[in-house]
């Protein structure tokens, strides 16, 4: 295996907790402390190691994918320094020392993931997504490749309904796959234009667009104000409405959301 270095401090188990918290995530599968991800038709194995993670194979194809998956694009040092002045965030950031929020490497996977999570629990969303992966994806060793855009475009809405999608969500997913939206090109656009292009598609609203900005593009000011868990955290921890809190947390809304939600999830 080869070492992929990540800025210290880095806590692998804490940072990858999302892949276990709501049930097994087949696209990011954890087995006996090893994280498996399919990249380019190959099984990639990721293990904790001082200074970062061991990755096999680590090459020009797998490195950017795994780096993004493990949240490498986030600049945590300025956020941590800034958060130290916030009476709510400061103790959360300290308690979650070593936490680096994961990102979704593939734009199509990111949007389909959001569709499955609309108006259901994350446990239910993961279960539905796993059925989708088993039906339309590919198993590669211990890893599963998420269904390609082409595979979902060729599917029928009835086939997605059979794996747990509602009729409407099946319609949204197939329409997304068949649309002419250049998903790869969204990374070159400003936040507002990304929002506009995503929400122009049926069934993809502001919540979906904001999580795409947050969890795929790692945009600093992404703030999914429509997220129920984030609303609860804003009310419980700050005693304010979520949009007011977003303005208060500028320019670190995205990382603040990740830390607040993880802190809320792991609170004792």
Let me know whether 166 and 206 are in one domain: yes
Residues in the chain: 268
Alpha carbon distance 7, 9 (integer Å) = 6
Confidence of residue 45 (pLDDT cuts 50, 70, 90): very high
- Same structural domain for residues 176 and 263? no
180 domain-assigned: yes
Q: What is the DSSP string of 191-248?
A: HHHHHHHHHTSTT--HHHHHHHHHHTS--TT---TT-HHHHHHIIIIISS-HHHHHHH
- Write a three-state SS string for 100-150: CCCCCCCHHHHHHHHHHHCCCCHHHHHHHHHHHHHHHCEEECCEEECCCHH
Mean pLDDT of the chain: 96
Note whether residue 264 is domain-resident: yes
Over residues 69-104, the pLDDT tens digits come to: 999 999 999 999 999 999 999 999 999 999 999 999
Strand ranges (E), 180-226: none
Domain boundaries, position 55: 2-70
* 48-57 burial: b if 16+ Cβ within 10 Å, else e: bbeebbbbee
Q: Which residue has the tokens 């259901």?
A: 120
CA distance 11 to 141: 26
Residue 88 lies in a domain: yes
Q: Would residue 117 count as lying in a domain?
A: yes
Instruction: Tell me what pLDDT residue 114 has.
Output: 96
Q: Mean of the pLDDT values across residues 139-158?
A: 98
- Encoding tokens for residue 236? 């419980």
Phi and psi at residue 73, to the nearest 5°: -65, -20
Q: Are residue 203 and residue 143 in the same domain, yes or no?
A: yes
243 is a domain residue: yes
**pLDDT tier at 267, thresholds 50, 70, 90:** confident
Q: What does the pLDDT read at residue 211?
A: 97
**Which pTM does this prediction carry?**
0.95
Task: Please tell me the predicted confidence (pLDDT) of residue 213.
Answer: 98
Task: Report d(CA 22, CA 209) in Å as an integer.
Answer: 22
Residue 268: burial class (beta carbons within 10 Å; 0-12, 13-18, 19+): exposed
Half-sphere exposure of 237 (CA within 13 A, CB side): 25
Structural domain count, the chain: 3
pLDDT (tens digit per residue) in 197-230: 999 999 999 999 999 999 999 999 999 999 999 9
Model confidence at 49: pLDDT above 80: yes
How is residue 199 written in tokens?
A: 């929400």
The answer to the question of residue 99 being in a domain is no
Which three-class secondary structure state does DSSP give residue 20? Answer: helix
* pLDDT value for 268: 57
One domain for residues 200 and 166? yes
Q: So what's the pLDDT on residue 266?
A: 76
β-strands 52-56, 138-140 pairing: unpaired
């Amino acid at each position: 295996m080869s070492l992929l270095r990540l800025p210290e401090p880095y806590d692998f188990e804490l940072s990858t907790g999302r892949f276990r918290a709501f049930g097994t995530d087949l696209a990011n599968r954890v087995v006996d402390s090893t994280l498996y991800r399919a990249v380019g038709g190959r099984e990639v194995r990721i293990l904790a190691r001082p200074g970062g993670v061991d990755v096999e194979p680590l090459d020009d194809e797998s490195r950017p994918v795994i780096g993004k998956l493990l949240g490498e694009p986030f600049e945590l040092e300025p956020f941590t320094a800034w958060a130290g002045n916030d009476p709510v965030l400061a103790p959360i950031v300290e308690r979650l020392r070593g936490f680096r929020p994961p990102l979704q490497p593939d734009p199509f996977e990111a949007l389909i993931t959001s569709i499955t999570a609309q108006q259901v629990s994350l446990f239910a969303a993961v279960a539905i997504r796993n059925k989708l992966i088993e039906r339309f994806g590919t198993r590669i060793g211990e890893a599963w490749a998420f269904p390609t855009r082409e595979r979902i475009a060729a599917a029928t809405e009835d086939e997605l309904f059979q794996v747990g999608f509602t009729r409407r969500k099946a319609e949204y997913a197939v329409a997304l796959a068949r649309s002419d939206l250049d998903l790869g090109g969204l990374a070159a656009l400003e936040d507002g234009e990304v929002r506009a292009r995503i929400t122009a598609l049926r069934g993809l609203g502001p919540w979906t667009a904001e999580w795409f900005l947050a969890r795929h593009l790692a945009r600093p000011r992404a703030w999914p104000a429509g997220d129920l868990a984030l609303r609860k955290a804003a009310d419980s921890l700050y005693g304010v409405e979520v949009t007011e809190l977003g303005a208060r947390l500028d320019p670190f809304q995205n990382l603040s959301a990740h830390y607040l939600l993880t802190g809320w999830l792991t609170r004792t």
